[in-house]
Chains A and B, each alone.
Chain A
Amino acid sequence: MRIPESDQESAHSVSLDSAPQAGPSSLGLDGPGPSNGHTNGNGFTLPSTNGFTNGAGVVGNGVQKHGKSVAKVSLLGTALYADGSYVDREEFVRLVIQSLRDVGYIESAATLEAESGYTMEAPEVSQFRQYILEASWSDAEDALTRLGVTDSDGLWVCYHLCIGSVPYVFRYQEAKFFIGQQKYLELLEAGKTTLALQVLRNELAPLNVAQDQLHFLSGLMMCSDPTDLRQRAEWDGASGTSRRELLTVLQRYVPASIMIPQRRFSTLLQQAQSHQRQQCVYHNSPLDSKAFSLYEDHQCDKDVFPGTTTAILDVHVNEVWNIEWSHDGSYLASASKDKTAIIWRIDDPSIRDYTAKFVLRDHSFPVGCLAWSLDDSILLTGADNEIRMWNTKTGVCTLVLDSQHGHQETVAALSWLPDGSGFISGGLDRRIILWDAEGNFKDSWGETAIRVTDLAITPDLTRVVAVGIHYLYDLATKQTELSFPLEGELSSVKISRDSRYALVNRTQNEIYLYDLHSGRLARKFAGQRQGKHVIRSCFGGIDGNFVVSGSEDGNVYVWQCDTGILLETLPGHGEGSVNSVAWNPTNERMFATCSDDHTIRIWEAPLRESGSRVTNRSSSNGKGKTRQQSNGDGVDFDSAFGAWVDG
C-alpha cells in the first residue's frame, strides 16, 4: 500500500473542523475533481492524517487538535479494485460511511467523505429522515416532493427509473398516504380527534389510494383510549418504533442509491454469514464471534461431530424400541420389548456416568412410547392400550390412566402440551385423547381418519401433526387442516423447533420433510432402510441442522437438513434394526440411539484425552451393566470393552 501525499490542490478538500456533526457533510453531489494522479494499482490507500487516532470517546466535542484539512484522493475508474470481481467503489465507500456513523465514528465518517468525495446521502435525504423522526409531517411531505421532483441533482431521474412502469405520481401518493396515516394515528393517540378527522378527510381521502385502509383508519376513531388504539392498529405509538418503521416503509419509494437502507453493510455481512453457514455441512456451533469471524470463512470441524460411541447402555433384556431425553438433558428414558422402561441418569456428561436409575417394570406388554413432562418430574409410558404415569424422582408408578375413557388399541404416541397443561395420546384405535397434567381424561377427538402411529405438537401450540397408517395429516382445533395421503405406513413424526417443519418416516426407505406453512414436501432423505419396522428419526445439532434416523440395516444415518446430503452412516449397533434416535436437547454434541441388539448407544465427538474415566455400573436389577467404549467403529467392540472398562 502507498500513502498518498497531501494534495492540497484538490478543490474538494474540507476541514474536519467544519464537519463534526452526525449528519452528512455538506459536500455536493458533483463528480470528482480532476485526477491528481494519486491512484495506485490496487486502489488501497491509507490516509496520512493522524486524525484517525481519535477514538469514539472524543466524538461530539468537535474539537480538532490538529486542524488539518483532509484532501480528496482522486482515483481512476469506479471499481474498488481494478482486478477481480467488480465492486463499485462509491457504493462501498458510502456503506462504510453509513456504518461508521451508525457506531458513532462521526469524525472518521466525515474524513472519509472528504477524502473520497462521496457523501453517504444528499442533505435532502437526511433532512427528510429528520422530519419523519421529529414528526414534522408537512416538511416531510415537502421533502418527499423534493426527492421526487428536484431535477437539478438527478434525483428525479433515478426515482423515475426505479419505479419502472408504475406511474410515479401514484407511488408518490402512496408514500404521502403512509406519512398522513402516521400523522393521523399520532393525533388520535394524543386525543386530538378533530385534527385527526381533518387529516383523514382533507389529506388522506383525496389521495384516493387504499380505500380499505381508509375505512379501517376511520374505524379507529372509536377506540376508547390510546392503549386500545395501539392494540387495534398494531402500532406502537409516537414514542415507540413506529416512526422508524414508517421510514423503512418509505424507503421503498426512494431509490436505495439515494436513501441507503439502514445498516446495509451489516445486512450484507449477515448474508455472507448465512451463506457460509449453509455451506458448512457439519455445522454445529452457535452464531458467536468465535465461530463466525469476518477474518475468515466459517467452517465447522468435522472431527467434533458426535459420530463416536462413547457409552453403551446394556440393561434391557430385549429389543429397545424407543428413547426420549428429559428436557434438562440429564436423563434418558428407554422403552423396550422386555416390558420395561428405564430411566438412565447422566449426572455429569464429562464423567460419562450413565446409571440405570430406575427400571419401570409394571407393564404387561412391551413399552412403545414415552413422554417426559416439561419439568421432567413425570414420565409417561405407553404399552399396548395402557398409559402409566411415573414419578421420576422415586421410580414409582403413580397412576394407570382411566382405561374406560382411554384407548381400545395400542397407544402409539404420547406428547405433552408445550404449555404443560396436559398431554395427548394417539392410538391405533383412531383416537387422539387429551388428558390434563394429573392424567384425568379431558377430551377425545373421536374417530380420526387414520390409525395414529405417531403424533407431535408444534412448539407454538397451533398444530397437532399426527401420522398413521394410510394417511398423514394435520389437526388444528380438531379440524383437519391439511391431509397428505401417502403410500405405505408412517411410523414417526417430529416437529422442528420453529414449528415449521415436520419430519416423517415412512416404510419403503423414505424420510420426508414437510413444510407445514406451505403444506408442501420440502425435502426427502434417503439411504436408511425401513421396510416393515417402526423406525424413528429426529432433528439434531444446533438449529436442527442435522436429521438422524435409525435403520433396519443396523446403521445410524445422519443428513444435513438444509440440503438432504447424507453426511454419516454410523455402524456399531448389533444385528437388527436401529429403532429410534434422540438428540440431547441441552447438548448439541450428543445423541442416543437404541436397537434390537438390546442396547442404547451414546454418540459424542471422539474423546480427546486418552484414558478418560470409565465406569461400569450395575442397574438396579443387578444384572445390567454400562459399558464404555472409546472407538467409534464398533467393529472392535470386545477389545474396546476389555481395554476401557474397569471392574
Chain B
Amino acid sequence: MGMVYRIYLEGERIYGCANCKTHLATIHSMMSRAFNGQHGRAYLFETVVNIIEGEPIDREMTTGKHTVRDISCCKCRTVLGWKYDRAFEPLQQYKEGKYILERNLLVDVQ
C-alpha cells in the first residue's frame, strides 16, 4: 500500500538481482557462503531488501525440516531464494529469520 521507492544500499559490495539489478543485500550482512540452492552455491544473509515474501511452506532440506518462504525480486519478480521462518532441528535455529540468495541469480551492483 502506498508509493515506495526501492531501497538503495550503500557499502563496499552490493549484491543485486541478476535480472534487473535491484539492490538486495550488502556483503556486511552476509553470514555464510556455505549453502546450496537449486542453482548451485547460495549465501545466507542477515537482511535482504526489495523482496516479496511468498507463503510459508514446510520443506525437507539436507539439514532437516524447515518452514520457508520463497523470496522474489520486487521489481522483476524473479525468485531469488528463500527465507527461513522456522528450523525444526535445534542446531539449525540460527537460520530463523535469515535469507538465502542463490549466487547464480546475483550480480555485483554499485
| Chains A and B belong together in one complex | yes
Query: Residues on A close to B: CB < 8 A?
Result: 319, 321-322, 337, 365-366, 368, 384, 408-410, 412, 428, 451, 453, 469, 532-534, 552, 575-577, 579, 596
User: Residue on B with the closest CB to A408?
Assistant: B21
- Which residues 1-42 of B sit at the A interface, judged by CB distance below 8 A? 1-6, 8, 21
CB distance from A17 to the nearest CB of B (A): 79
Query: Among B5, B21, B75, which residue has its beta carbon within 8 angstroms of that of A534?
Result: B5
How many residues from B make CB contacts under 8 Å with A? Answer: 9
The answer on a CB contact under 8 Å between A319 and B2 is yes
Complex Cα spacing A409 to B6, Å: 10
User: Residue on A with the closest CB to B7?
Assistant: A469
- What residues on A are CB-neighbors of B8 within 8 Å? 409, 428, 451, 469
CB distance from B75 to the nearest CB of A (A): 7
- What residues on B are CB-neighbors of A575 within 8 Å? 1
User: Residue on B with the closest CB to A321?
Assistant: B3
- What residues on A are CB-neighbors of B21 within 8 Å? 408
- Which residues 54-106 of B sit at the A interface, judged by CB distance below 8 A? 75
CB distance from B88 to the nearest CB of A (A): 34
- What residues on A are CB-neighbors of B2 within 8 Å? 319, 532-534, 552, 576-577, 579, 596
Extra contacts, 11 of them, besides A410-B6, A533-B3, A596-B2 (Cβ < 8 A), are: A366-B3, A368-B3, A384-B75, A428-B5, A428-B6, A469-B5, A532-B4, A533-B1, A534-B3, A576-B1, A579-B3
- What residues on A are CB-neighbors of B4 within 8 Å? 532-534
Give 28 pairs: A residue, B residue, CB < 8 Å, sorted on A: A319-B2, A319-B3, A337-B3, A365-B75, A384-B75, A408-B21, A409-B6, A409-B8, A410-B5, A410-B6, A412-B5, A428-B5, A451-B8, A453-B5, A469-B8, A532-B4, A533-B1, A533-B2, A534-B2, A534-B4, A552-B2, A575-B1, A576-B1, A577-B1, A577-B3, A579-B2, A579-B3, A596-B1
CB distance from B107 to the nearest CB of A (A): 14
Complex Cα spacing A576 to B21, Å: 29
Complex Cα spacing A365 to B74, Å: 11
Complex Cα spacing A572 to B21, Å: 39
Most buried by B among A412, A532, A575: A532
Complex Cα spacing A171 to B86, Å: 87
User: Residue on A with the closest CB to B22?
Assistant: A409
CB distance from B108 to the nearest CB of A (A): 15
- What residues on A are CB-neighbors of B75 within 8 Å? 365, 384
User: Residue on B with the closest CB to A430?
Assistant: B8
User: Residue on A with the closest CB to B8?
Assistant: A451
- What residues on B are CB-neighbors of A579 within 8 Å? 2-3
CB distance from B78 to the nearest CB of A (A): 15
- What residues on B are CB-neighbors of A412 within 8 Å? 5
CB distance from A365 to the nearest CB of B (A): 8
Complex Cα spacing A410 to B6, Å: 9
Shortest beta-carbon contacts, A-B, top 4: A533-B2, A534-B3, A577-B2, A321-B3
User: Residue on B with the closest CB to A429?
Assistant: B8
- What residues on A are CB-neighbors of B5 within 8 Å? 410, 412, 428, 451, 453, 469, 534
- What residues on A are CB-neighbors of B3 within 8 Å? 319, 321-322, 337, 366, 368, 533-534, 577, 579
The answer on a CB contact under 8 Å between B1 and A319 is yes
CB distance from B47 to the nearest CB of A (A): 16
- What residues on B are CB-neighbors of A366 within 8 Å? 3
CB distance from B110 to the nearest CB of A (A): 11
Complex Cα spacing A365 to B3, Å: 13
- What residues on B are CB-neighbors of A533 within 8 Å? 1-4
Complex Cα spacing A596 to B4, Å: 12
Complex Cα spacing A384 to B21, Å: 13
Complex Cα spacing A534 to B2, Å: 7
- What residues on B are CB-neighbors of A365 within 8 Å? 75
User: Residue on B with the closest CB to A595?
Assistant: B2
Most buried by A among B2, B5, B8, B21: B2
CB distance from B63 to the nearest CB of A (A): 35
Complex Cα spacing A524 to B3, Å: 23
Complex Cα spacing A575 to B3, Å: 14
- What residues on B are CB-neighbors of A337 within 8 Å? 3
CB distance from B46 to the nearest CB of A (A): 21
CB distance from A133 to the nearest CB of B (A): 63
Complex Cα spacing A113 to B6, Å: 76
User: Residue on A with the closest CB to B23?
Assistant: A409
- What residues on A are CB-neighbors of B1 within 8 Å? 319, 533, 575-577, 596
- What residues on B are CB-neighbors of A596 within 8 Å? 1-2
User: Residue on B with the closest CB to A336?
Assistant: B3
- What residues on B are CB-neighbors of A410 within 8 Å? 5-6
Complex Cα spacing A410 to B21, Å: 12
User: Residue on A with the closest CB to B10?
Assistant: A470
Complex Cα spacing A499 to B21, Å: 38
- What residues on A are CB-neighbors of B6 within 8 Å? 409-410, 428
- What residues on B are CB-neighbors of A534 within 8 Å? 2-5
CB distance from A116 to the nearest CB of B (A): 68
- What residues on B are CB-neighbors of A368 within 8 Å? 3
User: Residue on B with the closest CB to A335?
Assistant: B3
CB distance from A468 to the nearest CB of B (A): 10
Complex Cα spacing A596 to B1, Å: 7
- What residues on B are CB-neighbors of A532 within 8 Å? 2, 4
Complex Cα spacing A552 to B3, Å: 10
Complex Cα spacing A409 to B23, Å: 11
Complex Cα spacing A532 to B4, Å: 7
CB distance from A431 to the nearest CB of B (A): 13
User: Residue on B with the closest CB to A580?
Assistant: B3
Complex Cα spacing A384 to B2, Å: 16
CB distance from A545 to the nearest CB of B (A): 28
- What residues on B are CB-neighbors of A322 within 8 Å? 3
CB distance from A532 to the nearest CB of B (A): 6
Complex Cα spacing A577 to B4, Å: 11
- What residues on B are CB-neighbors of A384 within 8 Å? 75
Complex Cα spacing A199 to B4, Å: 70
CB distance from B66 to the nearest CB of A (A): 30
CB distance from B55 to the nearest CB of A (A): 22
CB distance from B2 to the nearest CB of A (A): 3
Complex Cα spacing A409 to B17, Å: 13
CB distance from B95 to the nearest CB of A (A): 27
Complex Cα spacing A298 to B8, Å: 51
Complex Cα spacing A607 to B8, Å: 47
User: Residue on B with the closest CB to A469?
Assistant: B8
CB distance from B69 to the nearest CB of A (A): 21
CB distance from B90 to the nearest CB of A (A): 36
CB distance from B61 to the nearest CB of A (A): 33
Complex Cα spacing A322 to B4, Å: 12
